[in-house]
Amino acid sequence: MQYRNMGKWGLKLSEISIGSWMTDLNGLGAAETARQSIRAAYDAGVNFFDCADAYSGGEAEKFLGGALRDYKRSSYVVSSKVFFPSGRGANDWGLSRKHITEQLDNTLKNMKLDYLDLYFCHRFDPTTPIEETMQTLSDMVERGKILYYGVSEWSPVQLTKAIACIKEMHLRPISVIQPQYNMVDRYIEDEIVQICTENGIGIVPFSPLAQGLLTGKYRKGQPLPAGSRATHQADKQINALLTDENLDKVDKLAAIADGLGVPLSVLSLAWILRLPQISSVITGASKPEQLETNIAASGLRLPPDVLDEIEKILDYKPFVRKIG
């Protein structure tokens, strides 16, 4: 496993990290498989484990905290997030000082930790002044409850406003962002990557395999694999990605992966890691064998000719606003 600095900061993150969004905790067998995946990740050199208070109603935090308890605290980096509803009350969601403070305390209780390494605003809250949110997070750093903080899925305008607010109020800075980023969703390349570069902010993307599209298990003209996410995920996000255009790209990308002797998932992860601004790629491994496959992307540097071929397949056209 190789490691990268989180932006300009001293914190080192494994190039491949583990997220808890899709962790299946239903039943003893599923929980034990998830526990084995975390052990396998740690043993393979993964040091960054991501979670959120909204995952499984707090159960994911409890599970992850328990799974990491056998390891020395200084040997791993753990994160969680705040925004989504934790109850039915008017103040049980968002990024107010009240909700952040209460949910952070609850997260630390769930995970049985004294502090979090990273804490993210899970989404932007238009009902709370950005000054209130940034001040609260800065205060949490000052109190030692979190070491670094960041945001997830904020727009370039929202991120820029937050950075300006922090500078004006002389607060602890945003250190990291967690956006969605993969071969078929590249919006961060338009503006966000540049903003992060200019401000030394690390990027730890989630959904690097586009809900499983970039594993190659979904193929044009073939039935959906039994038990796959496309057959059971409630919000059906993956189904919206299974277009003929995307599946044609998958076929061509799979041929490149075959030529390199690696699975399509490894090619997809290594492609994300081509950007030096990427600090770590958050993967979801429901089984230890999936993890073993994913970590092969760490240290794999794709040759320029391969990157050029991938670009031709993806045919990405950045948004450029023409003036005049």
Q: Which helix (H) or strand (E) holds 262?
A: none
Selection from 150, 135, 52 nearest residue 98 by Cα:
135
**CA distances from residue 247 to 132, 210, 305 in whole angstroms, order as listed:** 44, 12, 23
Q: For residue range 154-197, what is the model confidence (pLDDT) as tens digits? A: 999 999 999 999 999 999 999 999 999 999 999 999 999 999 99
CA distance 67 to 109: 15
Q: Is residue 257 part of a domain?
A: no
Look at strands 3-5 and 12-14 and give their pairing.
antiparallel
Q: For residue range 192-236, what is the model confidence (pLDDT) as tens digits? A: 999 999 999 999 999 999 988 999 887 777 776 665 565 556 556
Q: Is residue 247 part of a domain?
A: no
pLDDT at 89: 95
Q: Is residue 206 part of a domain?
A: yes
pLDDT at 231: 56
Q: Is residue 224 part of a domain?
A: no
R_g of the chain, CA atoms, integer Å: 20
Q: Is residue 323 part of a domain?
A: no
DSSP string, 69-97: TTS-GGG-EEEEEE-S-SSSSTTSSSS-H
Q: What is the pTM of this model?
A: 0.93
Report, as an integer, the average pLDDT of 292-307.
96
Q: Do residues 270 and 264 touch, judged by C-beta distance below 8 A?
A: no
Taking each helix axis from N to C end, the angle separating 97-111 and 130-142, rounded to the nearest 10 degrees, works out to 40
Is residue 311 pLDDT above 60, yes or no? yes
The domain spanning residue 35 has which CATH number? Answer: 3.20.20.100
Residue of 3, 42, 55, 148 with catalytic role:
55
Q: Is residue 256 part of a domain?
A: no
Is residue 77 pLDDT above 90, yes or no? yes
Q: For residue range 101-131, what is the model confidence (pLDDT) as tens digits? A: 999 999 999 999 999 999 999 999 999 999 9
CA distance 273 to 270: 5
pLDDT at 227: 58
Q: Is residue 283 part of a domain?
A: yes
316 catalytic residue (yes or no): no
Q: Is residue 321 part of a domain?
A: no
Domain that holds residue 8: 3-210+265-300
3-state secondary structure of 147: strand
CA distance 219 to 191: 32
The count of structural domains within the chain is 1
